[in-house]
Amino acid sequence: MRIIDDNGDNKGVKDTKEAIKEAKSNGFDLVLVAPDEDPPVCKFMDYGKYLYRQNKKTRKERQRQKHTLKEMKFYPKIEAHDYETKIRHIKRFLHEQNPVRIQIWMRGREKVHPELAESLAERIIKDTEEISKLQGELKPINHRVQFQLMPTGGNNAQNENEGSS
């Protein structure tokens, strides 16, 4: 078994029991790094510390990649101010690199006129086209129309928000 010490220096080839004894006497664990090599490669390290660093590293990567799906519900008979507010929220979500699922619900007599929901969907897509792209297509599901907007990654949303403040 080839042994590497905690500094990364090659200690040579040793017997397994001898290597374990030497690792314990130095206050380290003997960790098998490359089992497929001939002879297998082991390293002296504090395994608990190694696991802690690995977990910390993966947690940090997960935080960096955190993009949660946001949802926004609309109804075909939406007032202008409510529409503008919801579009502003959608643009903020897209600027934060979060995908947004849009659902347009039809109630009562609105179900007879699905073209109202489709025209609202096209209006939403047109109003957010500079910072998003449509993923898939409009999906009519029972009494709603659903689609998803994905951020394009540009800084247009940030510049637009700064201009309106």
What mean pLDDT is predicted for residues 90-106? Answer: 92
Question: Tens of pLDDT along 56-65?
Answer: 988 888 777 6
Q: Which domain holds residue 89?
A: 70-164
146 and 83 in one domain? Answer: yes
CA atoms within 13 A on the CB side of 37: 11
Asked which of 63, 79, 97 is the last residue of a domain, the reply is 63
DSSP for 70-108 reads EEEEE-SS--HHHHHHHHHHHHHHHHTT--EEEEEE--G
Question: Tens of pLDDT along 1-57?
Answer: 888 888 888 888 888 898 889 888 888 888 888 888 888 899 998 888 889 999 998
CATH code, 38: 3.10.20.80
Pairwise CA distance, residues 23 & 21, whole Å = 6
Pairwise CA distance, residues 124 & 91, whole Å = 11
pTM value is 0.54
